[in-house]
Structures are given as structure tokens and as C-alpha cells.
Structure 1
Amino acid sequence: MKKILFTLVTITLAISSCTLEEENIFKFKIDLAAKEAFTPYIKQESKIGLSVAVINGDQTIFYNYGETKRGSKITPTENSLYEIGSISKTFTAAMVTQLLLEKGITVHTAVSTLLPATFSQISYKEREITVEDLLNHTSGLPNFPADYLNYSHFSNPVGNYDKQKLTEYWNQIILTRAPGTVYEYSNLGYAILQLIITEQTGLSFANVMQKNIFQPLEMYASAMELNEISNADDKKMGAYLSDGRKGFYWRWNQWQSSGGIYSSLKDMEKYARAHIHFYNRDNRLEEVFRINRTLTFKHSETNGIGRAWNTTTNNGHEIISHNGTTGGFYSLIIIEPLEEKALIILSNNSGLPASDDTTTNTLEEISIEFFMNHIQS
């Protein structure tokens, strides 16, 4: 019996030693690759701060570059706060899927039956917009309302476009094609999803997000408003345009579902891990995330979209991704769920190009190349 126990302990130690050695080798290689990929980028005069997380199985490696604010000489950390922009849509899609499961509503339900009574039924040749059409950007709705520029400024593009204006715009929409047939990215569609969530739950969008996503995943540095995060003033990054000029924190209001989440690298690592095979401890969320990365609309043989997530098949590997950009921030998340690999990028330079921006390679191009060459299986 003692001999058997000794053998088992020896085998366990050998496996642990092998795993540790593999992790050390991976870290050594990824350290060099990260330095080569991101150091030239952050050394550009126009670039301010950058946080990167690499997930490889149980291993997570954080990298932080630059400054929290120009001239501060303070390097960001995994707890620094960024706007994550349109990655927020993947959170919104998760809340919608939860709502559908809890209420027994099909994704093919017409959205007019779920919206406030003041919203009319709109259709194209009797084909109404469904929940799935909003989730995968095939509703036929434009990116923004045609009149939103009347209430907009780059420092605050959508914050003044409230529920009343959304209602008025919705009620005069004339679709030019059948929903579900053509992909057209739509922030407006996700603003409508926010209305569905608040109408069906009777709660604010922020409260539903906290209850259903942030709290179960222990994402305590994530919220729809900075004042909801402990010590946010000490942790928040400065906001800058792509050319280094001072940028803006946008106000989202009725458009929080489209891009309004504030989060940290550490919290986004938790979010990425919740999508990794067999990691998540909350079975309800595991089902939601599995559903949401399932293909719903194909762009090509290898690319398509699930519920918010862009989906790609590369050499037989499933990859999901989304990016985000605001008036002062850029973000990117790439996950290979079944292989337990991920890359998270948070920057406090906007991804929107400035007229005099001389950046040769965008952060997105650098990051995708880094993932494909050094992280992906």
C-alpha cells in the first residue's frame, strides 16, 4: 500500500513539475514576443498607456506599458480602469440570452412584443425584426439613427439621444430589406436591446448587469458608471485620441448596452476565463456563453457572428472576438475557448483615427498578429 501511495505521489510531482516547466517556457517565449510587439507601439509619442493579458490554460500573464495619464510617470496596472467600448455588446447579449432562458422566450420572437407599448410594429413584407436580428446585426437598422448628429458631438455622440428620441425614430423607420438577410453593424440595435431588458425586468440596465454578470463573475471593478467602482478616481486612466491629444469619456445613458462598460484588465481576465471550456463555476452563465458564441449568421466559410461575438474557424480551431473604441479608449478581446487561450488589450488611446495620426500599424493589427503567431494553438 505504501509503495502504491509513493508511486502516486511521485507521478503527481512529476506531472506538476512538467506543467510548471511548460508554463515557464511559455512565459519566457511570450515575454519576448510581447516586448517585440508592444514596446515599439507604446514608444510612439502619441501613445499613452496600454494593458495586455495573455491567458494560456491556468496561466495568466499581465503586461502594462506607458502611463495612466500623459506626464504622470505612473504605469498602469491590471486594476486600472478603462472604457471597453463595444465589447460591452457581448455583455448585453449575455443578459438578453439569460432573459430569454428565464422567461421561455425564443430568440425568434418579434421585438415589438417585448418593447414598451409606445414602440410600433415595424416589418418588411410582413417579416418583423426578431431578437436574434438585433443580436447579430442583421435587423436592417442603421448603425445610428439618421438624425442623431443633430444631438451629437464627438465629446458626447449618443448621450443626448434619449428614450423619447429613440421611440420617435423607431416609429418612423421604413425597412428597405428583410431582417435576417444582410449583416450591417448597428449600435442602434443594441440600444433597442437595452430597452427590451429594462422593459422586461423592470430594473435599470446597470442593476441587471450587476446582478446577472458582474457579481456572479466577481467583477467588482466593472460598472456602467465610474462612481459605482471603489476608488475609481485613483484607478481611472486618462482618455486620449489616437494622435495623443486629450480625448473624452463618453456619456452613454440609453446606449450603455452598446459601449458603456468601465472595467479593468483583471476583471476582463475573469470575463475571458468565464468563456473558457469547463472553467466557469456558474452553470447558468456557462450555458449562456456557450449559446452566444454559436454561429447565427455566416459571412464566409470561416467567418461569421454569434450573438454579438465575431466567430472564426482557423485550422479547425474556434475563435471568438470583439473590439471596442470610444473617444479616448480602444479594447480588444480574442478567445479560443476550447483550447483555453485568450488575449485582452486595453488602451487609453482611441481606436478612431485622427486626421494627423501617423501610426503605421494599428494596435489591432499588432494584437491580432501577436495572438495568431504566439498564443493560438
Structure 2
Amino acid sequence: MKNSIYLLLICLFLITSCKTEDIIISPKLISNNPLLSATDSAVNRAFLKYQSDLNTVGVSIGLYKNKKSSFYGYGESKLGNGIAPDRNTFFEIGSITKTFTCITAMNMLLEKGQTIDNPIRPYLPIDLPTLARDGVEVNFKHLMTHTSGLSYFPDNFGVGYYTGHIGEEFAKYDRDKLFTWLLNTPLRSKPFTTWEYSNGAMGLLGTLLEINYGKEYGTVLKEKLLVPLQLTDTKTDMNETDMSRWSKGYSNGKEVAYWNSLNAMNGAGVIKSTASDMIKYGLANLNPPNTPLGDAITRTQQVTFLPFTEAGRIKINGRLGWFQCIHKDLPNETFIWHNGGTGGYSSDMFINKAKGSILVVLYNTDKGTQAREDFMLALLKIMSN
């Protein structure tokens, strides 16, 4: 894939920069922005400036600033319905799921009196070889920081990866396929020496949670994180959502199928949520509760892999699941960040702990554009002022 660094950092999974033949969608000028405050007006100006090239049917924005939450919807939740997405509209959030997976894994380790330096070997079937290279065995830290040596995607994923049917391949990618990949694929580098974004590593981490608790990923996540944080509209299964509140996803101007199950890769990107719940999740990360889960949240925010990787206008380094992100046009601001992309959705979440602010942006169209980057920068400036 061309432009691989940009792919890994800016649009996770299969999202790539729009090519000249791609259809660019301009969201309609439909909005639920109340235009009652200076912040409301600033968000509206930013949208109007970049509207024509945002390449999305709709966008839902959540902003927490000055101890107040604000929500804005633009465009349509489904092409032609004339209804802007609101704070309670469901979107697939893709790889932001990885932050949930890492917090839950950290919580598991704390429950067991273990640390991120514990090897993953005891959690795996005995017939699998020890994952190691150059005398270094893969541990939880390596999975959480994308430094395990496991590749971006398993190499036995199936032809759907290349033919536009990746959602179908996810649904078929079971634990046996995941373990077959681990059995036959050597690590690409010595653990904790090289950063390489890995959906496979995070899928494996979610599977380790399942093995430890003897329950499906969604059940573990619900019991250990979603219920304690009262995230009632954050789900791993579409059947548990209110389908009347769903946005429809698009790619290159066409409706696409939802990604309900990622099977053994659930830990890498299965979650569906709303702007309202994502702000609530952001608040739990901004001000972690005084509980063991809060301790796990705090620990995942520590910068663990120090070298920065640069891509375009941002540079990042590794926290545990999260990234530390610095935008070149906002060099004095540091964000806790992750983004996500699925077949028809893309998303970003930024937390500025110094300013006590949170930004969530959810699109129901997959491919990014330069206008989206510029729009995001305008919103980051609003949240940081």
C-alpha cells in the first residue's frame, strides 16, 4: 500500500488518502448547532470553511471545554434523510477500540498482581511457540505499544482484504486463524525496538482477555469497563443498540455494510458508540475515578515508547493503547489521541489534560481529505483556547 506511514497513523485499518478518481462527498448544510455561544459560532465557521471537501455524508462532534459538554451535528445521518446526526447517533469508532482493550488488559494485570512486563506466553495455548526474537519474549507492553514485531495485519486474513470485502473477512477470522498466524509468522523485529502499528497485536490482546476470563470480548469489556464507567451507549454488538439511532456508513459515495463482528480481532476495532458516550469516556480518562479501574486508566496514559514517529503535520509516540500527539501547528499543546476507521466510518478522539478539554469527531464516511485535516486543526484550536 502506498503512503504506508500516513495509512498507519492517520487512517487506521483500510482508510487511505482520497485519490483523484474517488468521489468526494460534501455534507449538506443541515445542522443542529444552536449557535448560542462563541464556541458554537467558532465550530460553525470551521465547518462552513471546509464543508465542500470534507468527504462525508454527516459528522457528529462532541466538545468538552470549560467544564461544559457541547454537541454538534452536520450533514445527514443517512444520505437523503434530511436529519443531522446528534449526540445519540451511533457510529463505528474503529481503532479507538484499542484504547478500551488496553485499559481492560491493564485492569486484568492489576487484578492478578502483574505488570505490563509480564510475558503473554502463559495466556496462550501450550502448542503455540513462544513469541520471541533475539532473546526477547513478547510481553503485554509490546502488544500495547505496537512494538511486538507482529505485522500490521495477519498474512492469512483472506482475499477480502484486497477486494473491498474486509468486513466479511473479519467475521470469518476466528481464534484458530489467529493462532495459525502466530504459529507460522516470525516476528518482524526484536520486541520494543521498532514501532509498527499492528491490528494483529491488538486483536491478540483482546483474545488474551477472552482466554483469561473465559468469556467473549464484548462480555469482558461490558463487565470490566463499560458498566463501571456507565457507558450505556457503547457496544460491541449492534443487536444491543437502538437501530433507529444509527448513522449509515459510506465509502466512495456508496452505502457499505456494517462491521458487527471482527471475531478474533474484536479487540482491534469492534466498538460502536455515540458522541455523548465518547465524551463520557473521555471524561473518565481526563479525570480517572479513584478505583482500581481508574488506576488502570491512569497507567495506560504513560508515555512508554519514547521515540517519535512523524507523519505530515503530527508526530506521535506510544502510550499504552493511546498515543501522545503533538501537532506542528500547535507545538505547545500535547494531546492524548487515537483515531479509527472501518469500511464506512472514521473517527478521532483528542484529550488535552493541561486544558481539561476533550474533542470527539465521528464521520459516517471512511476516506479522509486535506480539508478534514484542516477542519480538525481548527477544532483543536477551539478546544485548546
Aligned equivalents of 1:119, 1:40: Cα separation in 2: 54
Letter of the 2:76 counterpart: E
The answer to whether the 8 Å contact 2:288/2:297 transfers is no
Tell whether 2:268 aligns with 1:258. Answer: yes
Letter of the 2:285 counterpart: H
| 1:151-204 per-position Cα deviation (integer Å, ceiling 9, x unaligned) | 545232422221111111101122242110000000000111012101111111
2:208 to 183, 189, 196: 196
Quick one: higher RCO (CA 8 Å, sep 6+), 1 or 2? 2
Given the two structures, how large is their TM-score scaled by the length of structure 2? 0.82
* Deviation for aligned residue 1:244: 2.3
**Residue 291 of structure 2 aligns with which residue?**
283
Give the 5 Å matches for 1:84-95: 84-95=93-104
Aligned equivalents of 2:220, 2:338: Cα separation in 1: 22
* 2:250 aligned counterpart, secondary structure: coil
Aligned equivalents of 1:102, 1:269: Cα separation in 2: 27
2:243 to 233, 253, 276: 233
**Residue 140 of structure 1 aligns with which residue?**
149
The answer to whether the 8 Å contact 2:101/2:267 transfers is yes
* Deviation for aligned residue 1:213: 1.4
The answer to whether the 8 Å contact 2:173/2:262 transfers is no
Unaligned runs of 5+ in 2: 1-34, 310-314
* 1:36 aligned counterpart, secondary structure: helix
Give the 5 Å matches for 1:1-377: 28-43=37-52, 46-150=55-159, 152=161, 153-155=163-165, 156=167, 157-229=169-241, 232-241=242-251, 243-250=252-259, 251-276=261-286, 279-300=287-308, 303-312=316-325, 317-351=333-367, 359=369, 361-371=370-380, 373-377=381-385
The answer to whether the 8 Å contact 1:216/1:282 transfers is no
**Structure 1 residues 28 and 297: CA distance shift in structure 2, 3 A:** same
Aligned equivalents of 1:207, 1:159: Cα separation in 2: 18
Q: Quick check: 90-99 or 121-130, which moved more?
A: 121-130
Aligned equivalents of 2:130, 2:192: Cα separation in 1: 16
Aligned equivalents of 1:286, 1:45: Cα separation in 2: 36
Q: When the two structures are aligned, how many residues end up with a matched partner?
A: 339
> Which protein has the larger Cα radius of gyration, Structure 1 or Structure 2?
1
**Structure 1 residues 240 and 296: CA distance shift in structure 2, 3 A:** same
Given the two structures, how large is their TM-score scaled by the length of structure 1? 0.84
Unaligned runs of 5+ in 1: 1-25, 354-358
Aligned equivalents of 2:189, 2:53: Cα separation in 1: 45
Aligned equivalents of 2:299, 2:54: Cα separation in 1: 43
Letter of the 1:340 counterpart: G
**Structure 1 residues 45 and 36: CA distance shift in structure 2, 3 A:** closer
The answer to whether the 8 Å contact 1:82/1:264 transfers is yes
The answer to whether the 8 Å contact 1:84/1:346 transfers is yes
Aligned equivalents of 1:234, 1:248: Cα separation in 2: 16
The answer to whether the 8 Å contact 2:43/2:379 transfers is yes
* Deviation for aligned residue 1:365: 3.9
| 1:195-244 per-position Cα deviation (integer Å, ceiling 9, x unaligned) | 21011111111111111111111111111011112xx2101111101x32
Letter of the 1:146 counterpart: D
* Deviation for aligned residue 1:57: 3.3
* Deviation for aligned residue 1:43: 4.7
* 2:267 aligned counterpart, secondary structure: helix
* 1:324 aligned counterpart, secondary structure: strand
Aligned equivalents of 2:102, 2:143: Cα separation in 1: 9
**Structure 1 residues 142 and 204: CA distance shift in structure 2, 3 A:** same
* Deviation for aligned residue 1:113: 1.7
The answer to whether the 8 Å contact 2:175/2:264 transfers is yes
The answer to whether the 8 Å contact 2:46/2:375 transfers is yes
* Deviation for aligned residue 1:42: 4.2
Aligned equivalents of 2:180, 2:238: Cα separation in 1: 30
